[in-house]
């Protein structure tokens, strides 16, 4: 979690905060999606996190991807912006957020998979029609849109 959000939490406690996120769904040559097993909630999710103050969304997406997976995005393609009731989340520590997530797809990348210590337990590619459980529900809408885009 970024310094900006942490500073706000010191002032407001656990009440819901609007949070802008940037996420990256990495696809390999077989069309499989890279997912990470999160350490905080033990759910599978794609890479992403909060955008810092004055940070470009694309830069935040690339930064989060590299920090969490060791992968460097060469190109990002906008998948969509996701918001609303289905994007609310309560972290295990009780912090509540209303996410506005800008999700990108990445098909061109390089680097070696490496789990971010303290945040990621495992990294693995999965077919879109065989996602693992438990799956991070906040990411469901973007995965559904990705399925639609890939079916066209």
Strands 120-126 and 33-38: antiparallel
Please, are residues 106 and 77 in contact by the beta-carbon 8 Å criterion? yes
Domain of residue 18 covers 3-151
Residue 1 has pLDDT above 80, yes or no: no
Asked if residue 112 has a cis previous peptide bond (ω within 30° of 0), the answer is no
CATH of the domain at 44: 3.90.79.10
Backbone φ, ψ for residue 108 (5° rounding): -115, 120
% pLDDT > 70, the chain: 99
Chain segment 77-87, per-residue pLDDT in tens: 999 999 999 99
Chain segment 15-36, per-residue pLDDT in tens: 999 999 999 999 999 999 999 9
Task: Give residue 6's pLDDT band: very low, low, confident or very high (50, 70, 90).
Answer: confident
Query: What's the domain count of the chain?
Result: 1
CA distance 75 to 105: 8
């Amino acid at each position: 979690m970024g310094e900006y959000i942490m500073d706000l939490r010191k002032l407001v406690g656990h009440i819901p905060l609007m949070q802008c996120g940037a996420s990256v769904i990495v696809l390999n040559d077989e069309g499989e999606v890279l997912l990470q097993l999160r350490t905080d909630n033990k759910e599978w999710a794609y890479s992403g996190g909060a955008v810092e103050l004055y940070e470009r969304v694309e830069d935040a997406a690339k930064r989060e991807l590299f920090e969490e997976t060791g992968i460097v995005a060469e190109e990002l393609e906008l998948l969509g912006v996701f918001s609303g009731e289905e994007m609310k989340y309560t972290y295990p520590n009780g912090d509540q957020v209303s996410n506005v997530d800008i999700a990108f797809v990445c098909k061109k990348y390089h680097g070696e998979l490496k789990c971010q210590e303290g945040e990621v337990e495992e990294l693995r590619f999965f077919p879109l029609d065989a996602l693992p459980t438990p799956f991070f529900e906040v990411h469901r809408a973007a995965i559904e849109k990705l399925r639609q885009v890939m079916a066209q």
